[in-house]
Amino acid sequence: MPALELEKTFTDFQIAEDTENKLAGAIAMRIEGCEGFIHSESIPDFALSDILRPLFLERFALVARNHGLVRVWTEEVAPFWKKDAGFVEVPAARLRELPPAFGKPHPAWLLLQLRDEETTPSAIEKQFEIIMATQELERLATLRQAKAWARQGKAIKTATTIFCVLIFLASMVALFYAMKP
């Protein structure tokens, strides 16, 4: 990688040192939105791989939790990632979900689903928007209903007033005829 690009992704790398402060292993995790990509594992002493991989995985679990990741992808081929870490082979239909920044979809990808997508901040925000839109529609429907009732109330009030005026006039006419000698 060019130095400037490497500097931007410096925090993506996790390293392990041996007792002599020499590099014992390194691995990287790239984050795109709510997805992670574990890549570039390098453990020169194969005897240390069974010790280092669980430590790297523990660190990545913390990073994933802190970033709210939904799933983590990898192309690492070591059996550890399937057997101990919980990664599974990705069905062809799910390969469409692979972020383009991670590379091209192919059958060797492994996936670790951390949680449902419905719990991501963007999914929660979308649900909130749906709730707000639904409430707005309900408010408008209630407002229309109230206006309809107000029109009906005015019509009933007008009809009642006319009826009362007619009764009053009829009473006056009846009283006028009753008072005639």
Distance between CA atoms of residues 23 and 8, nearest Å: 21
Question: Nearest to residue 146, comparing CAs of 177, 159, 7, 138?
Answer: 138
124-152 mean pLDDT:
84
What pLDDT is recorded for position 106?
92
Per the structure block, which two tokens stand in for 8? 């931007």
122-128 mean pLDDT:
70
CB-based contact 38:74 (threshold 8 Å): yes
DSSP H/E element including 44? none
Q: pLDDT confidence of 113, banded at 50, 70, 90?
A: very high
Q: Highest mean pLDDT: which of 7-11, 47-51, 132-136?
A: 47-51
* DSSP letter (8 states) at residue 66: H
The pLDDT tens digits for 81-109 are 999 999 999 998 889 889 999 999 999 99
Q: Which three-class secondary structure state does DSSP give residue 175?
A: helix
